[in-house]
Amino acid sequence: MQAQPYQINFRTGAAIVIANMVGTGVFTSLGFQILGIQSGFALLMLWVVGGLIALCGAVSYGELAAAMPRSGGEYHYLSQIYHPALGFLSGWVSATVGFAAPTALAALALAQYAQSVWPALAAPLATGGTGGTVLAVSVVLALALVHGRSTRAGSRLQVVITAVKVIVLVGFIGAGLFLGNAQPLSFAPDTASWRSLLSPVFAVSLVYVSYAYSGWNAAVYVTGEIKNPQRNLSRILLTGTTMVLLLYVGLNYVFLRATPLGVLKGQVEVGYLAASWLFGPALGRLTGGVIAALLVSTISAMIFAGPRIVQAMGEDLPALGWLAQRSRAGIPVRALVLQVAITLVFILKPDFKAVLVYAGFVLNLFTFLTVLGLFVLRWRQPVLPRPYRAWGYPITPLIFLALSAWTLVFIIKDKPTESLYGLATVASGLLVYFVAQMLGRSQPA
């Protein structure tokens, strides 16, 4: 007999959103942004604009989730608004790029930060070290085991480690404001800084920021498991996104204020480098270890939410029905195993910067189509019950669409290789969809 499903409350939902967002991006992407931008004002504006995009997206998704309260996120919305094929493509992208790739990147970043505490991790496998790979794989497998056994236990773990993460980051921001010597970097706007906001470099850098903010929509993937989603989901999305916006601006201000740009330029371990300049080498190494531990909550949240998309796809497509099966505890274990397997492939074949752009491009594409669907749904089904309506409509979704489209255009122009890989992923999903449809029709009723 299947156990009564555990319902996710507001606190757990907000923890899932915050943990999904605060992870690899904010601790790794600033070094790449500095390659093209050296203005303190412009660098901080990247994070403000990225937060504005995420908030406008959260407002829009809140209406869609309240009107169509089912797990699956973009897969469910696009299937209902446009066509099941487009919904499948978004689900395919979410299962591969949307959750598996970021989970792998977070695990790899965890391993790189851990190397600051245990340098032996940096040695490659061929010389007797682990290269961080064993640690990254072990963390993913351990968290998958927790979430594969109990939703209640996974939810409690998520709340605790996310609360610890927020407390530590607030403490880091506070220490950064009062300790260390401020670097000679101006955060005051000037003519050159304002002009840089409209440059292609700013638009491409916004990809890294958008990736860091990805996860603001994480709660919609578990809509069917949230208690009173029509009321709670919009609150979860907006609360989680607002908290992360404040954390991100504060963290990046401290990173830039405490550390010379030349030290951060092109580097992945931004948090560790900033901590070393703030607190000295010894405490810097310890902070690197703490950041590594904090990334556990990010990995945990993505392992928790991602399989629900694959499960929803399995419920709708007979050929993928085996992925929809739940355990007696109500957990989509087979979908979870599939996501973990894809994650391990990304861990074993990493290319950090390329995957960031590649993932950012594809995710932006489908969130753009989803928010556009808000207008389509209002036009096609004006009488559909909407317990929550997007605040500021139509301005807020239009802001999201305009900024997302601007970013997508510049990615295609400036990063054509990564864009083509993203489009190839979408095309491969379309092939899988048609094969699944053919197999489904051939199965006996």
What are the two backbone dihedrals, phi and then psi, of residue 322, each rounded to the nearest 5 degrees?
-65, -20
Write down the pLDDT at residue 125: 42
Express each pLDDT in 303-317 by its tens digit.
Answer: 887 788 788 888 887
Express each pLDDT in 109-154 by its tens digit.
Answer: 788 777 766 766 655 444 444 557 788 888 899 888 887 776 666 6
Rounded to an integer, what distance in angstroms lies between the CA atom of residue 28 and that of residue 110?
11
What are the two backbone dihedrals, phi and then psi, of residue 226, each rounded to the nearest 5 degrees?
-90, 135
Express each pLDDT in 346-387 by its tens digit.
Answer: 887 755 556 666 667 777 888 899 999 999 999 999 998 888
Q: Is 225:151 a contact under the CB 8 Å cutoff?
A: yes
Q: Which whole number is the average pLDDT over 203-228?
A: 77
Q: Which whole number is the average pLDDT over 253-268?
A: 83
Q: Is 332:325 a contact under the CB 8 Å cutoff?
A: yes
The 3-state DSSP class for residue 388 equals coil
Rounded to an integer, what distance in angstroms lies between the CA atom of residue 113 and that of residue 150?
29
The correct answer on CATH 3.30.460.80 for the domain covering 10-438 is no
pLDDT at position 239 over 60:
yes
Q: Is 222:16 a contact under the CB 8 Å cutoff?
A: yes
Work out the pLDDT band at 225, boundaries 50, 70, 90. Answer: confident
Write down the pLDDT at residue 1: 41
pLDDT at position 2 over 70:
no
pLDDT at position 443 over 80:
no
Averaged pLDDT of the chain: 80
Express each pLDDT in 5-38 by its tens digit.
Answer: 567 788 888 887 887 777 667 777 788 888 888 8
Write down the pLDDT at residue 374: 94
Share of residues in the chain with pLDDT > 70 (%): 88
Q: Residue 198: count other Cβ atoms within 10 Å of its Cβ.
A: 9
Higher pLDDT among residues 245 and 186, named by residue: 245
Domain ranges of the chain: 10-438
Q: Which whole number is the average pLDDT over 396-416?
A: 85
Q: Is 209:49 a contact under the CB 8 Å cutoff?
A: yes
Q: Would you report the helix, strand and coil content of the chain in percent, each value rounded to 5?
A: 80, 0, 20
Higher pLDDT among residues 158 and 424, named by residue: 424
pLDDT at position 410 over 60:
yes
Work out the pLDDT band at 181, boundaries 50, 70, 90. Answer: low
Write down the pLDDT at residue 154: 64
Token couple for 107: 């695990």
